């Protein structure tokens, strides 16, 4: 079979990934290999090739600051055009658009390894695009309760808020340990008050999944469920 993947094949791979991601998020048992074999029988590639493609999809999730499927470590060897297609297909499969640009983040990541030798010209009048973004309706009482409980200190590193707001309150950000985009609930059992540094680390850090586990162990309410 041709090495070029059709959009139909990419869509089938994304749909399978999204299904496995949802199953993992809800603690439902599944076997990755059976999904790879199903795709292999349908399209004629090897199961291993689909496993690697799943790792490419994990890379898109990582670029979006999201949790990827355990055991499918992000594989970065994928072109920007394919990343754009995968991100679009993920949004279609999940029925939501979270407003990130994985292709842009991938380009920045690549350029960091070999930055331009001369200052780039940039754009004096950068073009603008419009797109619809999925926004979740959050409960302000949950945010207020979590911030009040933190009492001005980051619940991850324990340091005081980095600065004060104009109204004199400490600036902390409320983070959902299981992202709402990944099916997480908007309750105090899934929310923590963090400094911006810890918040970004929990989205984009190399050890973000380990840090999330440590946060659950540290904060007792995060080990509880409301179901």
Residue 211 burial by Cβ neighbours in a 10 Å radius (0-12, 13-18, 19+): middle
Cα–Cα nearest to 129, from 84, 180, 164, 159:
84
pLDDT at residue 14 in the model = 98
Q: Residue 119 falls within a domain, yes or no? A: no
User: Domain limits at 147?
Assistant: 140-223
Q: Are residues 18 and 81 in the same domain?
A: yes
Same domain (yes/no): 57, 98:
yes
User: Total domain count for the chain?
Assistant: 2
Contacts 24+ apart (CB under 8 A), 31-35: 32/69, 32/71, 32/72
Predicted local distance difference test score (pLDDT) of residue 1:
34
Residue 3 confidence (pLDDT):
66
Q: Which of 109, 117, 98 is nearest to 184 (CA)?
A: 98
In a domain, 216, yes or no: yes
Q: Which of 113, 129, 156 is the last residue of a domain?
A: 113
pLDDT for 40 equals 97
For residues 15 and 85, membership in a common domain is answered with yes
- Does 161 share its domain with 92? no
CATH, residue 168? 1.10.30
Contact present, 86 and 63 (Cβ < 8 Å):
no
Hey, is 199 helix, strand or coil? helix
Do the domain assignments include residue 107? yes
Asked, for residue 70, whether it belongs to a domain, the answer is yes
Residue 16 pLDDT: 98
Distance CA 40, CA 47 (A): 5
**Domain termination residue (choose one: 113, 131, 148):** 113
pLDDT < 50 regions, the chain: 1-2, 226-227
3-class DSSP string for 98-132: CCCCHHHHHHHHHHHHCCCCCCCCCCCCCCCCCCC
Record the pTM.
0.74
134 domain residue, yes or no: no
Residues 23 and 109 placed together within one structural domain of the fold: yes
**pLDDT recorded at residue 223:** 74
129 within a domain of the structure (yes/no): no
Asked whether residue 153 is assigned to any structural domain, the reply reads yes
Is 96 within the bounds of a domain? yes
Q: Which helix (H) or strand (E) holds 192?
A: strand 191-194
Q: Is the dihedral of CA 15, 17, 21, 27 positive or negative?
A: positive
Residue 168 and residue 109 in one domain: no
Report strand pairing: 191-194 vs 173-176: antiparallel
Same domain as 107, residue 145: no
pLDDT digits (tens, 9 = 90+) for 134-187: 777 889 899 999 999 999 999 999 999 999 998 899 999 999 999 888 888 999
């Amino acid at each position: 079979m041709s090495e070029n993947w059709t959009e139909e094949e990419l869509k089938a791979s994304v749909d399978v990934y999204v299904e496995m991601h949802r199953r993992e998020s809800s603690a439902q048992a599944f076997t990755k290999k059976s999904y790879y074999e199903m795709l292999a029988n349908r399209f004629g590639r090897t199961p291993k090739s689909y496993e690697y493609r799943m790792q490419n999809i994990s890379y898109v999730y990582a670029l979006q600051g999201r949790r990827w499927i355990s055991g499918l470590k992000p594989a970065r060897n994928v072109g920007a055009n394919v990343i754009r297609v995968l991100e679009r297909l993920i949004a279609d499969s999940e029925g939501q658009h979270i407003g990130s640009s994985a292709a842009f983040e991938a380009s920045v990541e690549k350029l960091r390894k070999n930055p331009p030798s001369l200052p780039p010209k940039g754009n004096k009048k950068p073009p603008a695009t419009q797109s619809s973004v999925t926004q979740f309706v959050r409960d302000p009482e949950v945010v207020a309760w979590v911030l009040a409980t933190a009492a001005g200190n980051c619940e991850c590193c324990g340091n005081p808020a980095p600065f004060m707001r104009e109204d004199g309150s400490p600036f902390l950000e409320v983070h959902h340990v299981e992202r709402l985009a990944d099916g997480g609930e908007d309750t105090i059992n899934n929310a923590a008050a963090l400094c911006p540094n810890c918040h970004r680390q929990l989205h984009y850090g190399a050890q973000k999944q380990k840090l999330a586990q440590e946060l659950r162990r540290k904060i007792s309410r995060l080990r509880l469920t409301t179901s």
